Amino acid sequence: MIDLVVTSCLGALSPATILDVSHAGEFLDRFGELYLDSFLANIMVGVLLGSLGLFVVLRRMVFLSAALSQVSGAGLALAFFVGALTAHSAQMPTAHRPAAVPDEVLDNHKPTDGDEEDIQRFLDGDGAGQGAQKRAAKEPPRPRPFAGSHHAGSHHAGSHSPSPASARSGPEALPKVTGAAHHSQHQPIRPIFMSLLLTALVALLLSDLSRGQRRSTQESVVGVVFIAASAASIILSQMAEKGAHEIAELLFGTVIFIPPQQQRMIYVVGAMTLALYALLFKDFVFVSFDPTSARASRFPVRLTNGVLFLLIAISIAICTRAVGAMPVFALTVLPATTALLVHQRMGPALLTSGLVGGVLASGGYFLSGLLNLSAGPLMVVVGTVIVASAWLGRLLADRLVATRARRRSEAEEPRGP
């Protein structure tokens, strides 16, 4: 019995079971055709968030990215909710108004002479069926409505295929309005604009926390924002009727297949953000490590903090819609943590953080295609392995340095006569 259990467990953990060879082969064969653009966009997301996450970790606001991701989702839900309210208010004046029936339709429903004859025969007890049969024998058969529909085809399996004209009259030919189309027709505000606006406003408010609030800490305020935004996104998505599915897609992202429009937005926003980030990097370091001296020298601390948080907020809002909330949180925290474990200077730490972010995003994406698993959790796994390796390497390096220093000190001690 034990041998059977061990054999089954080993078979479940075998490489052939974990790795779907056919799916992996198809992924590799069609990588350049289908997946390359999204793969490069994910690398851009990793480099961008990894670079910005350095100050998020240094300023001890690790959950800032998670809170802003939820705020971004709340902005999306708010946009769909406003669209649903607008559509509902536009339909209210005619919702309870009875539709006007044309006179010719009413005329067609007037009883004919044959109908009156059938009614009279029924009242006399002669039966209405004979009159109907006689009239049916005289009149030509009337065409059935929706001749090209599925139901008509099922009743007349042996009939010929309907003509294009009759096929277009079927129920399938009627336009189907999905949730996305419904909201796109009555969407006064684009979801991405509402998401960016709300995320930027919250980030500017959070940037002012560095002035020092004794009754509240940065972690507590960020936690309140995270909880409130999470609840708001859930409630608004439920109240937005048909927008819940679209909101879920926008919140969790499409890591494997990022739409071309979002790819272009990632590249444009990423390039502009990284350029401004590199230009003001020394100012960000100054206000982050020594804000007291910066205020004493009349440096624009509030403006610099606002620009830094605004760059973080815009990047998180754009990347959350592309890859989802959990990969954004991982790409903001894990690369910066790895870089700070390896380096002690800000310049090399910035380059390492961006590089690790790109490796983390590309590694998780590639493993997702090979293993046929979700890309977001695999990014977290790759990042955790990288952080653990950096932590072990740092621990061994510190012990080696301490051992060498102790031996050097022992060798330099004067020996007695």
Helix (H, G, I), strand (E, B) or coil at 37: helix
Q: pLDDT value at position 416? A: 54
Q: Which residues of 195-224 are buried (b: 16+ CB within 10 A; e: fewer)?
A: bbebbbebbbebbebbeeeeeeebeebbee
Q: pLDDT value at position 334? A: 94
Q: Residue 275, Cβ neighbours under 10 Å: how many?
A: 10
> Consecutive sets of 10 residues in the chain, 417 residues long: mean pLDDT of each?
46 50 80 88 94 89 85 84 73 54 51 58 53 51 43 40 40 40 51 84 80 64 88 81 61 75 92 93 89 87 90 90 86 93 90 94 90 87 93 90 84 65
Q: pLDDT value at position 247? A: 63
Q: Which CATH code for domain 15-86+178-409?
A: 1.10.3470.10
Structure-block tokens of residue 204? 């500017």
* Single-letter amino acid, residue 373: L
Are the C-beta atoms of residues 63 and 220 closer than 8 Å to each other? no
Quick one: 71 exposed, middle or buried, by C-beta within 10 A (0-12, 13-18, 19+)?
buried
| DSSP for 156-209, written as a single string | -TTSPPPPHHHHHTSGGGSPP--HHHHHHHT-SS-HHHHHHHHHHHHHHHHHGG
